[in-house]
Amino acid sequence: MIDFHCHLDLYPKPDEVIARASKAGIYVLSVTTTPKAFPGTKRLAAGQKRIRTALGLHPQLAHERHTELGLFDLMLPETNYVGEIGLDGSAPFKKHMNIQTRVFRHILNSCQAADGRTLSIHSRGAAGRVLDALEEFPGSGLAILHWFSGSMKELERAVAIGCWFSVGPAMTSSAAGRERVESMPQDRVLLETDGPFAMQGGKSMEPIHASRAIGVLADAWNFSIPETKNQLRSNLKNLGTRPQSFCQE
Ligand code: MN
């Protein structure tokens, strides 16, 4: 299966998490929160054929790490994947919205200049602003909104501009999350965990737990479990990423 948004570098024992994911044959998008963390996080995945490492600058760190944008631009040619990036309008981070927006627009502009990337995007409390920025840089790539919690109207707008979504057990455990999942086009949905931040039963989730969201997707789509897995597999295959697709099997 798939975990399209996981912070492998932030687990106490990343090698053990990777070994379990590898044994289960799971494809992982390993996102990073600062450009400085990218080289070390990429090394964690050395020799792992199902893990791709994304270059990111998390919106909650933008006010402290905007000085790493030069490093971001230097390393962008090394990867087809960018994340975690985006905007966070929740109470503790709202006051940094100006610098967050400057960082996010800089990154989208760099991705657009580099012919686009596959983007894993955070939009908590700022879905409308995220969509404004994506519309401003239409060549920035394929935007995958992770753990989408915007309004139903914002969801419709995201669908209309071509966004994809990554959905996990944490999101599908709430009624609001399930309502959003039901309105997502089924050919634009991937699984995620957002581990180790996202927890279930008091424990951090890891890639092997992404499949806990499959039952909710099956209900939303009126599919059997095997049909749901097939749909998710084919979505991963269809993810248009240059120069090669995420999933080569
Ligand atoms: Mn995350």
Q: For residue 63, is pLDDT > 80?
A: yes
How far does residue 62's CA lie from ligand 1's centre (Å)?
14
Q: For residue 205, is pLDDT > 50?
A: yes
Confidence of residue 199 (pLDDT cuts 50, 70, 90): very high
Specify the pLDDT at position 246: 55
Is residue 11 within 8 Å of 204, Cβ to Cβ? Answer: yes
Q: What is the pLDDT of residues 88-131, one digit of tens each?
A: 999 999 999 999 999 999 999 999 999 999 999 999 999 999 99
For ligand 1, a single-atom ion, which residues have Cβ within 5 Å?
84, 194
How far does residue 182's CA lie from ligand 1's centre (Å)?
22
- Pair type for strands 203-204 and 199-200: antiparallel
Q: What are phi and psi of 174, to 5 degrees?
A: -105, 150
How far does residue 167's CA lie from ligand 1's centre (Å)?
12
How far does residue 58's CA lie from ligand 1's centre (Å)?
8
Please choose, from the candidates 240, 241, 184, the residue with its C-alpha nearest in 3D space to the C-alpha of residue 213: 184
How far does residue 201's CA lie from ligand 1's centre (Å)?
19
Specify the pLDDT at position 239: 86
DSSP sequence for the chain = -EEEEE-GGGSSSHHHHHHHHHHTT-EEEE--SSGGGHHHHHHHTTT-TTEEE-B---GGGHHHHGGGHHHHHHHGGG-SEEEEEE---STTTGGGHHHHHHHHHHHHHHHHHTT-EEEEEE-TT-HHHHHHHHHH-TTSEEEEEES--S-HHHHHHHHHTT-EEEE-HHHHTSHHHHHHHHTS-GGGEEE---TTTSEETTEE--GGGGGGGHHHHHHHHT--HHHHHHHHHHHHHH---SSS-S---
**From the CB of residue 248, how many other CB atoms can be counted at a distance below 10 Å?**
9
How far does residue 171's CA lie from ligand 1's centre (Å)?
12
Specify the pLDDT at position 249: 43
As a whole number, mean pLDDT of residues 8-27 equals: 98
How far does residue 6's CA lie from ligand 1's centre (Å)?
7
Q: For residue 161, is pLDDT > 80?
A: yes
How far does residue 197's CA lie from ligand 1's centre (Å)?
7
Q: What is the pLDDT of residues 134-150, one digit of tens each?
A: 999 999 999 999 999 99
Confidence of residue 242 (pLDDT cuts 50, 70, 90): very low
How far does residue 230's CA lie from ligand 1's centre (Å)?
25
Kindly report the average pLDDT of the chain as a whole number: 95
Q: For residue 248, is pLDDT > 70?
A: no
- Beta-carbon contacts of 49 under 8 Å, excluding residues fewer than 6 positions away, are 248
How far does residue 69's CA lie from ligand 1's centre (Å)?
19
pTM: 0.96
How far does residue 147's CA lie from ligand 1's centre (Å)?
9
How far does residue 143's CA lie from ligand 1's centre (Å)?
15
Q: For residue 241, is pLDDT > 60?
A: no
